[in-house]
Each structure stands twice: as structure tokens, then as C-alpha cells.
Amino acid sequence: MLTLLELLKDGRFHSGEALGAALGVSRSAVWKQLQQLEVELGLSIHKVRGRGYQLASPLVLLDAQKIVAAGPSPAWPVHAYDSIDSTNAEALRLVERGASAPFIVVAERQTSGRGRRGRQWVSPFAENIYYSLLLRIDGGMRQLEGLSLVVGLAVLHALREQGLPGVGLKWPNDVLIGRKKIAGILLELVGDPADVCHVVLGIGVNANMQAAEQIDQPWTSVRSEIGRPVDRNQLISSLSKKLQEYLRLHREAGFAAIQAEWEQNHLWQGREVSLVAGVNSINGTVLGIDQQGALRLSVDGVEKVFSGGELSLRLRDDS
């Protein structure tokens, strides 16, 4: 099926006879595989009598060699998959099997993609970026302080290089354009943070997605914003370069060196918000973040600090 996709990815018409000859199967077998492509991968295929079959739009598939060649130096190894349950989960499995950090896992689609608080991360085939970077942390709790916020800055600058000057951050792990989400971050840690541990930096970026009925919040994509498809291989390489740059700064100088830049790019600075934890919520005004990346709120005139992966920030209805 993926060999058939390689033949069709140029977006041109291909006759059933030519496809069958290339695959060494009958035309009826080609027809069955085309149906599988549509059902399993959600692809739209045009069928025109006398001309053959054509993808609704051309595809540029992930290429690990291109990603490494255009990525940061020293290079991070790239593990690329056609389909995986979750790039974060696969990164952790690779560590268990002895893979040496750092390395990257990317995939054309995820069958069980996850966001924060157990939410599904919608992952259509060959449209977006599903990216996990696995790092080894040696006895440095400071290296974990504000780490998801550091990742957010790297994502922000990679997207600005694509021609999106209006992209900004929302505490703790969202990247937005206006009120629409364009990227999200999910960090997972295994091991002892006080000794040796591994942390996987999971990043999802809406790259070329144009429709997704399953998403239950406002969203946008790079393609929707700039009006043309983006080369995901190039964007992944750019993202890796920015991550290497910001992770080095964080490692050498701590999160305090990045705090001011993060606040400058926080779209909700000074806004009236509700901080939600389960069934409880706290109303306040965003003051900023502290040197560990925790949220600073003014609650009834008193400054309070909040941190934790299960917290969610929302704008107040009257803000």
C-alpha cells in the first residue's frame, strides 16, 4: 500500500494498468489497495475514466536523510515511521532497547497520539508534524525547570521562520495564532530526576492540515496561515536547530536566562484568566512567570504562584 502511495505522491494521474505493472499485481488488486489508502489513511483519490487515479493533492513524505542533512550540528539521529501509536511512546521504547540519547522520532501519522491531560492528539497521515526528541538528564533538576516553556520558544521561532510573525505562547504548553492553536507540547519523564533520567519532548505542529472535525477547540495550521503547503522535512530540521539552540542556553544559564523572552511572547500577559484544576478554578490576572517557569497570578490583589501539568489556563469571559 505504501509502495502504491510512493507512485501516486506526485499528484499526477496514473493509469490502473501502469500502477498494476509497477506493483506486479492485477488492476483489481490496485483498486482494492486504493480503497485501503482512502479508508485507512484518510486520503482523497480522484478516479477519472480514461485517465486513471490521482491524489487530491501531491504529498511530500518524511525523509530522515533530508531531515538530518539540513538539521543541527552535531546531528541528532532520526527514526522515521509511516505509522506509530505515539512518537513519545516509541521514543521511550527505543531507550528501553538501548538507543543512545539524544535522538528524534517522527511519523507520518499516530494512531494513539496524546496531548496534555490525556486528550487525543488528532494525527492525520502526512499532513502534520508529530515529533519527539529524547534527552538524557544527568543529576540536574535545574535542567528540568521550565523545560516545556523552553521548548515552546523553540517552536515559536521555527514557525516564525515559516512566515508567521503573529505566533505566540500560552502558558504552559500551547503555541497559538490569536486564539487558534497551531502547536502543542507534551513532556514525559522516566527515571530519577535527582540522578539519571530521560525526558521526551513531544511536539505536535499543525503543518498542512486543512480540515479536522475531531478537534474540539479553535485551531489553525501553517498552510492555512501562509496559503500554501509547507515542506515538513524542512520545518522539522528548523525545529531541531531551534531546540538545540534553546536547550544549550537553558543548560548553560538556566531558565532565568530565558524568562524575559518567554514573557514577551506570552499572548495572555496582563489578561484576566481562570486557572482550572479538575473541577476547581481560580480567577486572576496574569503577572508572568517565575524563574522556574511557574505561572504568577494576581488573585484578589495578592500574587500567587502555580505550577503543575494538570493545570489549564482559560481567558475569562469578560476579558
Could you list the residues known to form a binding site, using ranges: 86-88, 110, 114-116, 181
Residue that has been written with the C-alpha cell 494521474 in this structure:
13
How high is the pLDDT of residue 120? 63
How high is the pLDDT of residue 193? 78
Instruction: Give the pLDDT mean for 233-242.
Output: 97
Considering the chain, what is the average pLDDT of its residues? 90
Quick: pLDDT tens for 102-122: 999 999 999 887 665 556 667
How high is the pLDDT of residue 124? 86
Q: Which of 32, 47, 314, 316 is catalytic?
A: 314
How high is the pLDDT of residue 13? 93
Q: Quick one: pLDDT band at residue 318, thresholds 50, 70, 90?
A: very low
Q: What is the largest CA-CA distance in the chain?
A: 74
Cα distance between residue 301 and residue 274, in whole Å: 15
Choose between 309 and 14: higher pLDDT: 14
- Range among 41-50, 107-116, 247-256 with highest mean pLDDT value: 247-256
Of 69-73, 122-126, 247-251, the one with minimum mean pLDDT is: 122-126
Annotation says 116 is catalytic:
yes
Residue that has been written with the C-alpha cell 495564532 in this structure:
177
Could you list the residues known to form a binding site for biotin, using ranges: 86-88, 110, 114-116, 181
Whole-model pTM over 0.85: yes
CA angle 153, 198, 251 (to 5 degrees): 45
Q: Quick one: pLDDT band at residue 199, thresholds 50, 70, 90?
A: very high
pLDDT exceeds cutoff 90 at 58: no
Helix 16-23, helix 27-41: angle, nearest 10: 90
Q: Quick one: pLDDT band at residue 213, thresholds 50, 70, 90?
A: low
Neighbours of 166 (CB within 10 A): 11
Task: Evaluate the omega torsion of the peptide bond into residue 229 and state whether it is cis, within 30 degrees of 0.
Answer: no
Q: Is the distance from CB of 102 to CB of 133 less than 8 angstroms?
A: yes
Annotation says 228 is catalytic:
no
How high is the pLDDT of residue 88? 96
Q: Which of 181, 223, 241, 242 is catalytic?
A: 181
Instruction: Give the pLDDT mean for 26-47.
Output: 87
- The candidate with the shortest Cα–Cα distance to 135, out of 244, 241, 239, 238, is 244
pLDDT exceeds cutoff 50 at 201: yes
Q: Which of 116, 232, 241, 242 is catalytic?
A: 116
How high is the pLDDT of residue 319? 41
Q: Quick one: pLDDT band at residue 77, thresholds 50, 70, 90?
A: very high
